[in-house]
Amino acid sequence: MSENVTENIREVWNRYRYAAVNCTLAVLQVIFYLLNAALGGALYAPLALHAGAVLQGHQYWRLFTVMLMHADLTHLLSNLLGQIFIGNIVEQNLGHARFGLLYFLCLAGASACSVLHAVTNGWNGWCVGSSGAVFGLMGALAVLILKGFRKYDSRRSLPQRALFMLVYAVYSGSQSASVDNAAHVGGLLTGLLAGIILSLGIDPDLRRLL
């Protein structure tokens, strides 16, 4: 029994050590959600995305810290599901450093589009969540699939992941009028472009850790 447990632990470790950055970002989101809940939502004001605070107050960190804030547990779990399901395979193919750069580029692109949309439409509300970055990972995964990257995955599971991407996109965009579709579009486009650039020079058949 103990040998089986040890083998299972080793298998999980061997799989997820190649997605260390993505898993760390997911854990960070959980920590901040719990911390914000314990503080009665006090972290929304300094960390959530707000167009006026970014453009007039020059609080550019909000373009990135928006990923740490979520409206409720359902919001958090839906984003984490997409991030883990899609992001792990992207990191396993691109490597840690390129994945980290990809994630924050997607986050910045999503937030920038959200701010632009808010200014254009005169909207003065707050935005929270990491779904813009998740949509960016969807774009990058699409690029990797088209370019033939299949490391750490099977041919059978790739169509399943593509189907999940479609379901996640429809679900996220149709939940309510408060969904920030501008961030989703911005993240997706950034992910497509960044995925093309960051996958250059990588052999799909070689193991990547950096």
pTM of the model: 0.84
Percent of the chain clearing pLDDT 70 (strictly above): 75
Range of the domain at 142: 2-198
**What b/e readout covers 177-208, taking b as 16+ CB neighbours within 10 angstroms?**
eeebbbbbbbbbbbbbbbbeebbeebeeeeeb
Residues linked to residue 49 through DSSP beta bridges, in sequence order: 127
Whether 58 maps to a domain, the answer reads yes
- CATH label of the domain that carries residue 184: 1.20.1540.10
Query: Mind listing the pLDDT tens digit for each residue in 146-176?
Result: 887 766 555 456 566 666 666 666 666 555 5
The answer to whether position 48 is within a domain reads: yes
* Inside any domain, residue 8: yes
Q: Mind listing the pLDDT tens digit for each residue in 66-97? A: 999 999 998 899 899 889 989 998 998 899 99
pLDDT at 18: 79
Known catalytic residues are 131, 184
Q: How confident is the model at residue 34 (pLDDT cuts 50, 70, 90)?
A: very high
In a domain, 107, yes or no: yes
Distance CA 67, CA 119 (A): 20
Residue 210 lies in a domain: no
Q: Is residue 209 part of a domain?
A: no
Residue 47 is assigned to a structural domain of this protein: yes
CB atoms within 10 A of CB 13: 9
Is 36 inside any structural domain?
A: yes
Q: For the chain, what is the domain count?
A: 1
Among 111, 81, 125, residue whose Cα is nearest residue 187: 111
